[in-house]
Amino acid sequence: MSESEARPSNFIRQIIDADLASGKHTSVHTRFPPEPNGYLHIGHAKSICLNFGIAQDYQGQCNLRFDDTNPEKEDIEYVESIKNDVNWLGFKWDGEICYSSDYFDKLYGFAIELINKGLAYIDELSPEQMREYRGTLTEPGKHSPYRDRSVEENLELFEKMKNGEVEEGKMCLRAKIDMASPFMVMRDPVLYRVRFATHHQTGDKWCIYPMYDFTHCISDALEGITHSICTLEFMDNRRLYDWVLENITIDCQPHQYEFSRLNLEYTVMSKRKLNQLVTEKLVDGWDDPRMPTISGLRRRGFTSASIREFCKRIGVTKQDNTIEMSSLESCIRDDLNENAPRAMAVLDPIKVVIENFDADVEMLEVANHPNKPEMGSRQVPFTRELYIEAEDFREEANKKYKRLVLGKEVRLRGAYVIKAERIEKDEAGNVTTIYCTYDNETLGQNPTDGRKVKGVIHWVSADAGVPAEIRLYDRLFTVPNPGAADDFVSVINPESLTVMNGFVEPSLVEAEAEQAYQFERMGYFCADNKDSSKEKLVFNRTVGLRDTWAKIAD
């Protein structure tokens, strides 16, 4: 990550400053604890930037810890994708990767300790009965009939659970706290349940698995985490976090701090909904460029720097809000406008024949960036037959139209001024070929007789241009808050992907995966990191040159 990226300030950093100043802590140790049950999304990027960024700025440590307590939904594919995402975003975890499963033996021991202290019991209520006994937000819960079992009986039954002698759903271990608590999370929460599932790290060693709330706080304590940072929906869980640590024999007592999660317009952030999009094949996998996943954004052409900048701009607060998609797009435009080389591509081609051009080919030197000579230049072949965008020609037009008009002139980017002399049409009346002449005195300069040529259009040689599949990605949903719809699938944007078959200048044959370009006048594009090859070029539109959705909204 660039050292020039400004260090942000927020309420969590102010807490850390105070803790260091008071001597409460002498160093900072954070962690990023994803569940390996899906790919990370832009909301996780905010947490990554926060936790790793704090450790980096305070010369502390940040662990990458997989909260792997639910083997039925977890997969090693997700583990690998998360590691790749953290690295790609520009961060490095300290030490070895941690897994909650590393602590299963110790977690089991702490559960035994709670049973021995009379603070945990084996319950045989069914899940439905347990919900009924739990009460409501306005009514207290009722004690389970199994709540007052003896320590000896609880130990014996817990051992049976561990040994695989109990069916799934028949028994669980619950904390004995307060069924009348105003906080539902404190009404005798489940600590362990039976699951006959092979774990991606521990295999078949265990058939009982600890719950998140029991595991998370103990994992933090075992790793010496000083500041345990999570999102606001875990605010009430902090009471259970503290209760567990206060009632077991453990030295470290981390404190949990909550911040608002990222909500982004025109997306869903629920892993369940994202998984539904993938499993129902409504998108092309977790890394579909329309997905808000980090791998999807990367495939679409977002840079790690632009995502870090976005996370810095939106800040860290306790106030829930929804960020406009234009804020994210602004970050990538700013990045690519500065750093992406220029190239020419024609997405919807129409042929131009320059009748007075006699050479086979003329190689023109074109700058790679209009404001950065240090980015060099490239050779672009200019030939008698070219392609231009179909929308860049009209038979008749008013003065506001600054492109090619029959009988008038326009400049070709980096090349000559041409004039449309006549056209050919097909049987349906569509223009198929535009016959032009060019002024060979206008390469790099205005016409010598003082003619004013205002319009500039891009082009590609019809002889040397390379066929390419151009994927025009747009927002996946038609409404700003698809999660609020009765059926979020019903508001998927049917035009979220348009595939064009166009032509690109030959230099783009060498485009590397994820390499960004500004296609002159068309937007920012990158070579697809899965499907593009020298044999078949595929480019994804990252973002347009300007925000067209703002105009639609107006």
Q: Extract the annotated binding site.
A: 35-37, 41-47, 67, 212, 231, 261-262, 269-271
**Closest to 327 (Cα-Cα) out of 266, 286, 270, 261:** 266
Q: Is 285 left (phi over 0), alpha (psi -120 to 50) or beta?
A: left
Query: Could you write out the DSSP letters of every residue in 221-268?
Result: HHTT-SEEEEEGGGTTHHHHHHHHHHTS--S---EEEEEPPPEETT--
Q: Which residues are bridge partners to 439 per DSSP?
A: 417
Whether 35 sits among the annotated catalytic residues: the reply is: yes
Whether 261 sits among the annotated catalytic residues: the reply is: yes
Residues of the binding site for L-glutamine: 67, 212
Q: Is 297 left (phi over 0), alpha (psi -120 to 50) or beta?
A: alpha
Distance CA 161, CA 538 (A): 54
Please report the sign of the dihedral spanned by the C-alpha atoms of residue 438, residue 442, residue 444, residue 450. Answer: negative
Cβ atoms 271, 502 nearer than 8 A: no
Annotated catalytic residue: which of 73, 142, 160, 261?
Answer: 261
Which positions ≥6 away from 479 have C-beta within 8 Å? 266, 485, 491
Annotated catalytic residue: which of 149, 193, 238, 271?
Answer: 271
Residues of the binding site for ATP: 35-37, 41-47, 231, 261-262, 269-271
Cβ atoms 99, 201 nearer than 8 A: yes
Classify 275 as helix, strand or coil. Answer: helix
Q: Annotated catalytic sites, by residue?
A: 35, 261, 271
